[in-house]
Amino acid sequence: MELKKAKISAVGHYLPEYRLTNFELEKMVDTNDEWIRTRTGIKERRILKDPDKASAYMGAEAAKEALESAGVDPKEIDLIIVATVTPDYLFPATACLVQEMIGASNAFAFDLSAACSGFVYALTTGSTFVESGNAKKVLVIGSDKMSSIIDYTDRTTCILFGDGAGAVLLEESDDETGILDSIHHTEGDTNCSLYQHAGGSRNPATIETVQAKQHVISQDGRAVFKKATMGMADVSLEIMEKNNLSADDVAWLVPHQANLRIIDATANRMGLTSEKVMINIDRYGNTTAATIPLCLYDWKNKLNKGNNLVLAAFGGGFTWGAVYVKWSI
Ligand SMILES: CC(C)(COP(=O)(O)OP(=O)(O)OC[C@H]1O[C@@H](n2cnc3c(N)ncnc32)[C@H](O)[C@@H]1OP(=O)(O)O)[C@@H](O)C(=O)NCCC(=O)NCCS
């Protein structure tokens, strides 16, 4: 049986209005705009202030925009995957909440946890459902309300992250474009260089865990930086070599946005000039599972059908991966 191919047929996004600038962070912790810009590339990030809204709301808004732009009725959706590390609840899955919010009553839905690699992992997962014929229309969403797990007194992490969501619609491709290949890796980080200490079954919430601020991101920045720089560049080269893609063949690198220096190192190793690299970290910070679909949304009017895109990400877990997409819209 010949496998079908999945394509991205629409993109949507959601960004909260509130902008948390470096200058505002200067008033909150011992940091400064120059340090943040030169070490990370970030100028500001968006924060979802409304306490009644969280990752499901942002993901649903992004999904609605994608469906509207494709002219697809929510009831046609077969599957919804939400990549997130900031689910509204530990259960039910955020994807189930999105399903109800957008009226996709015929879809089954689940979350995928792969931190900053969540979107590329979910894209590969969603595309295999289309390829096998088990689903015709799939929503893949990356949504993270990172501000809900940030300690705004910790200058080493609070400057990095922002809130946002992006969504893509996957459908069967009827030409040579689509999601052509993917490579994913995992290396279990039992040393916990990047993790949330409490709130799971290992350390359930207690007064002590709250008082010790164990429900927020904890990161060994230098260790993660080294791993991420190596991992993202290696896997991007690996997918280029596997598909015989030269630097000239690649129209765009769509990198996860954790640190501009990690992105630059990846582009250099691939032999790409900066004009071929999508960057939104300056405006949104690290939105975890949302960075890559937010890039696709921001660049959608500059993309041409047939453009070769390499999507690459590295995240907690450790997880990393790359997806080769021949743009279909
Ligand atoms: C977090 C990160 C930006 C820190 O940058 P760095 O160049 O590694 O900086 P270091 O951690 O070595 O810290 C250098 C100094 O700056 C200080 N510093 C840390 N945060 C600071 C801040 N916000 N403002 C000012 N100074 C800061 C440190 O205390 C340290 O001071 P010291 O030398 O006196 O000890 C960087 O390590 C990084 O991006 N890591 C990977 C993040 C990531 O990818 N996370 C998600 C995975 S997808």
Tens digit of each residue's pLDDT (9 = 90 or more) over 249-308? 999 999 999 999 999 999 999 999 999 999 999 999 999 999 999 999 999 999 999 999
Active site residue 134: no
For position 1, what pLDDT does the model report? 62
Instruction: Please tell me which residue, 1 or 215, carries the higher pLDDT value.
Output: 215
Q: How much distance in Å is there from the Cα of 315 to the middle of ligand 1?
A: 16
* Token representation of residue 326: 């021949």
pTM beyond 0.85: yes
Residue 44 to residue 10: CA distance in whole angstroms: 27
If you write DSSP's letter for every residue of 195-213 in order, what string do you get?
A: EE-SSSSSS---HHHHHTT
Mean pLDDT of the chain: 97
286 a catalytic residue: yes
Using the predicted structure, report yes or no on whether residue 2 has a pLDDT greater than 90: no
* Residue nearest (by alpha carbon) to ligand 1 atom 26: 31
156-209 pLDDT tens trace: 999 999 999 999 999 999 999 999 999 999 999 998 999 999 999 999 999 999
The Cα 58–Cα 143 span in angstroms is 7
Q: Give per-residue pLDDT as tens, 77-92.
A: 999 999 999 999 999 9
Amino acid occupying residue 203:
N
**Interval 223-252 mean pLDDT:** 98
Residue of the CA atom closest to atom 9 of ligand 1: 222
**314 token code pair:** 């590295």
- Report pLDDT for 268: 98
Model pLDDT for residues 4-44, shown as the tens digit of each residue: 999 999 999 999 999 999 999 999 999 999 999 999 999 99
Catalytically annotated residue among 13, 22, 96, 116: 116
